[in-house]
Structure 1
């Protein structure tokens, strides 16, 4: 560690120390049908102009400018249609051709007159009386070849998420197997002798495991993350060491919950040390979540030990684990940034020398209300909340603060 254990790092110092040690995972080809939400790992270029030829932006008729006066006075004969997907026809002088959105602009045409401006009769069209003929100008409603992108133009750079819009662009240029970052494989290990499965009846002093499902849900919602395993182990040093060793063989990131505080049965840091893991930090100047632990396993995987209290586990998963995994995924930093800057409806009563995370509910576009709760074990309060805010050290939150949504990025 970079400082004495009695002087915990700040959240910003910890994130810098963590991010400096992380490099993105490898790359692979993905079928287009499986590429949405993945992180692009190559530059995508247009293989031809877009649009490929001059096309119409409206439904109407294609005409020459020299025929506008005739269109307005006596009308023009309609000599045919410029069909979508066909080669552009020649436009006869003194005539119009039907054309529809996306249709190729006929050779010789100067403008497209929208159908709403026309009076139609069998075999001919005429400009409606309320339309000024001077409003028809050269190039009107014509999308020029290559105006969206020229052949060879870059459409997307590595490190962006493949959104539905980008996926459509990939399809349009024939990039049907884009190069993407591999999904970050995450193994979740929940520690605790008191825990049972969510579907089981717990002992009188026991608890159902809530951390495993909650953390898996938060992380698994990201298509660049693959939660490869979730298991529960007892508070035994050897059991935790074996579980970590097994996870190191199949995961890029290991998330544990519990076992990182000061109790006699908190063995995660010792189990990591037994596997020659390099400690990055242990205990931060934050509340809740102070005991959080981070290390780098000898063979490469990242280990993040989250506290066992459910609110602490969720907050640190969102605020610390998610940005770290995003770095491993090569994803843009924006995917793990706060969703908004929000104003507390009522600030805290007094400042604190450490960073505080507080559960809130939204009560306006950029306003949140602090939620009453009974501490980091109050999962009922967390369930009612919309997310949490980060209140800096020595601050009471009387100016806008970072807001993190449970349902956001």
Structure 2
């Protein structure tokens, strides 16, 4: 059974988690997807000079001797521009976002004007050419790259994409995931809990984590510690055509751990057998040529969540086409952080922005059975192997963002 470091395990997983084929994605469904080609602007934005304020469009030379009263020539509204040329010595009422009439080169704000007795408009201030005017192409020019290939689309990025008229984007399709929990002692969330059993959480928690990462879970189930039941479950999982299979439990060294032989019978070859990390040491990986990647996770639900973040989430990111599949920062500890002997300790923590950078509080509950420790965690403190003396407040540590 090959034992590897977390870095080696991650490298092995990412080497087999290749980007998936591209597809056209409607803009409304684009959040979380990674672009496989640049999105370019098809026209300038703004397409022409427009007002940045409510007020009056003027020729700046006409107000050089303000205060001055000028006749009102018309009005330009957003979506309904004033036609023709603004005559010299006259102004046009204008609203925010409306096109400047030809002949105007500045805007005087509403509050800097007042009506004159004869119906004219008194301009109280001088303004330079271009004042309160959004210039053509100020945001982008036709042909500019708005989002580059390899960029993950955020909700905020939808604004320029929509503004450029990108009704669809080209992105790798979403990874398809199957989740299988194994064990005779597992009860469903809504089932009666017999003595000695525990409620199964992974088929609820892990799909939610991977959905946030951009994947879709196409199948999930619980299998008993029985070769026939496990074989049937693996058949069903593979029939769902997943790109990634997560198998929780049944992969340690006990007499009832039958998952590895069952997986091998389905044509999978083991990539690594254990990972030198706490929690999550029993994690393993297998791959079938031309088929899905399989990650074996510890049966312990907290450890399975940690390993999902350490290995499965980066695998999903790579399948989506992300160049950098992990998110890490350097943080200053505000609490001690213990090592785990020869293993890397992925300690659950709470990352916050401090006055001098990122700060990380290692949570008090670090037991692998303590589900409540997952409520506050938003990062993992990666305490290096061989850290015999606990790290202290003020020490720095790499934090893996969740």
Q: Secondary structure at the match of 1:378?
A: coil
- Mark the CA change 1:351 to 1:298 in structure 2 (over 3 Å): closer, same or farther: closer
Q: Identify which of 379, 400, 405 aligns with 2:371.
A: 379
Tell me how far apart the structure 2 counterparts of residues 303 and 109 of structure 1 sit (CA, whole Å). 66
Q: Secondary structure at the match of 2:286?
A: strand
Q: Secondary structure at the match of 2:157?
A: helix
Measured against aligned partners, the alpha-carbon deviations of 1:323-343 in whole angstroms (never above 9, x if no partner) come to 111111223536x414x5433
Q: TM-score w.r.t. structure 2 length?
A: 0.89
Measured against aligned partners, the alpha-carbon deviations of 1:191-249 in whole angstroms (never above 9, x if no partner) come to 11111111112221111112221212212234x21111110001233433332233223
Partner of 1:78: 72
Q: Identify which of 89, 108, 113 aligns with 2:103.
A: 108
Q: Secondary structure at the match of 2:160?
A: helix
Identify which range, 245-254 or 162-171, moves more after superposition.
162-171
Q: Which runs of 5+ in 2 are unaligned?
A: none
Say if 2:307 is the partner of 1:311: no
Partner of 2:263: 272
* Count of residue correspondences: 392
Q: Identify which of 46, 58, 67 aligns with 1:63.
A: 58
Q: CA deviation at 1:350?
A: 6.0
5 Å matches for 1:10-409? Answer: 10-70=5-65, 72-87=66-81, 89-121=84-116, 123-128=119-124, 131=125, 133=126, 136-222=127-213, 224-249=214-239, 250-331=241-322, 333=324, 336-338=326-328, 340-348=329-337, 352-361=341-350, 365=354, 366-373=358-365, 375-383=367-375, 385-395=377-387, 396-398=390-392, 399-404=395-400, 408=402
Tell me how far apart the structure 2 counterparts of residues 177 and 63 of structure 1 sit (CA, whole Å). 40
Contact 2:54 2:110 in 1 (8 A): yes
Q: Which runs of 5+ in 1 are unaligned?
A: none
Contact 1:256 1:304 in 2 (8 A): yes
Contact 2:338 2:391 in 1 (8 A): no
Tell me how far apart the structure 2 counterparts of residues 285 and 317 of structure 1 sit (CA, whole Å). 15
Cα RMSD over matched residues? 2.4
Q: Secondary structure at the match of 2:20?
A: coil
Contact 1:238 1:271 in 2 (8 A): no
- Mark the CA change 1:193 to 1:112 in structure 2 (over 3 Å): closer, same or farther: same
Q: CA deviation at 1:319?
A: 1.3
- Mark the CA change 1:227 to 1:350 in structure 2 (over 3 Å): closer, same or farther: closer
Tell me how far apart the structure 1 counterparts of residues 52 and 151 of structure 2 sit (CA, whole Å). 30
- Mark the CA change 1:274 to 1:349 in structure 2 (over 3 Å): closer, same or farther: closer
Contact 1:37 1:162 in 2 (8 A): yes
